[in-house]
Structure 1
Amino acid sequence: MKALKVYLLLAFTCLFLTVSAAQAQTSTPAQTPTPKKGWSNKAKGAAIGGGAGIVTGAVLGGTKGAIIGGAAGVIGGGLIGRNKDKKKDPERYKAYRNKK
C-alpha cells in the first residue's frame, strides 16, 4: 500500500510539473509593448519548490516529513525565484514588491 502511495505522488508531481511548465507563447509587434501578465519567478519557484518538497518529504518522512519538506521547498523556491526576478526584470520586481 505504501508503494502505491509513493507511485501516485510521483505521478502527480510529474504531471503537475509538466503542465505548469507548458505555457503558450504569443508574439506581439515590437511597436506595441504589452504589460507582462502571469506569475512572477518568485511565485513559480515557491509553487514548484513546495510541490517537490511535499513529495520528497512524504516519501522520506511520512506526514511530518511532507509538512517540513513543503515548507522548506516554498521558502527555498521563493528565494531563488526572487533573485531571478531581481536580475531579469528590476521594474517588475519593484512593482509587485511594493503592492499593498
Structure 2
Amino acid sequence: MRTSLVVLTIGLAVGLAGCESKIGRGAAIGGAGGAVVGAVVPGLSTVEGAAIGAAGGAVVGALDKDDEGRQWYRDEYGNRYYIDKDGRRRYD
C-alpha cells in the first residue's frame, strides 16, 4: 500500500510539474520528494511527508522573482512573461 501511494504521488507530481507558475511546480516537486521521504522515515506517513514537501516547495517557488519584484511565468510555447498591474501579459 505504501509503495503504491508513493508511486501515485510521484506520478501526480510529474503531471503537475507542467504548472505555469513556479509556485505550483515547486509544490508538485516538493510534494513528490516529501512523499518519498515520508515513506522511508519511520514515524512519518507518506501523506505527511507529501504535505510538508509541497508547502516547502511552494515557498521556494514563490521566491522566483526578479529585482523589481515581478513573478515570471512561461506560456504554452515556453516564452517568459509577467503580469503587469493591469492584468496584461508582458513578455521578455
Normalising TM by the smaller chain, what interval?
0.5 to 0.7
Report which of the two has the higher share of strand: 2
Task: Write the deviation string for residues 24-76 of structure 1: whole angstroms up to 9, x where unpaired.
Answer: xxxxxxxxxxxxxxxxxxxx011110111112111112232222211111110
For residue 50 of structure 1, the aligned residue among 20, 23, 27 is 27
Deviates more, 1:67-76 or 1:6-15: 6-15
Which is richer in helix? 1
CA distance in 1: counterparts of 2:32 and 2:82, whole angstroms: 33
Using structure 1 for the length normalisation, give the TM-score.
Answer: 0.53
Tell me the matched-pair count.
Answer: 70
2:47 maps to: 63
Q: What CA RMSD, in Å, does the superposition of the two structures yield over aligned residues?
A: 3.0
- Which amino acid in the other structure matches residue 13 of structure 2? T
Mapped to 1, the partners of 2:14 and 2:81 lie a distance apart of 29
Q: What's the TM-score, normalizing by structure 2?
A: 0.57
Match of 2:61 among 77, 94, 99: 77
CA–CA separation in structure 2 for the residues paired with 1:13 and 1:90: 24
Larger radius of gyration: 1
How far does residue 90 in structure 1 lie from its aligned partner after superposition? 7.9
